[in-house]
Structure 1
């Protein structure tokens, strides 16, 4: 049996509205919002009876999705938002953009801050990491011609 695709990446947030606005500004499209709750959902996650508000964001090419989740129950138990770049586990999502400078300017209005510098990798990419909503680490890559 072959792997078909990566369906989505999930990020847990406190302020779902702010996170949705940030990723819309980045260029993702809101595919839908809803509640995931009940015993069946808790069996999947191992959390028991849970209640989670989610927003599914779709990339412009339609091939990738980002699931933003706000846990109402059970309460969030850990916070990895300020983990350094060399921390173990989930770290960041990287997005390809047309213009890194324009993207940074637009995202700063939503609280984005550079984690380091915008750097050039050979004659291939301009790259940077930013801290987005609630400190979530996001990579941006601009392909050079």
Structure 2
């Protein structure tokens, strides 16, 4: 997700290691960013999971000239994607699928219904969230 909207979902059936993460970046994130931003610069945010900090992942970002935001492993209230997942989950709250296949289409519909305006508002609210976390001395806030 970005301030310009959401990209495609990528359903993963395996554990995420560096190789899987790099495939996701190559086949989903980079094409999505190209579609959302074209040639404009953007800053990519991720946390410090092992797959994210692997040498091959860092090399890929350097090769593709993608700026990655320095980001702590777990920072409460400051990851916009968590708020987007909350929106998507809220739309699925009353579902009772019988299996994963029955759940996939509603997840995709919920995800694609998230508007660029919602994403932009979330990104624009992050300075306020940052101030709240600083005021709370790093502990979780009402967000």
**Which has more strand, going by share of residues?**
1
TM-score using structure 1 length:
0.21
**Which has more helix, going by share of residues?**
2
Compare relative contact order (CA 8 Å, sep 6+) and give the higher one, 1 or 2: 2
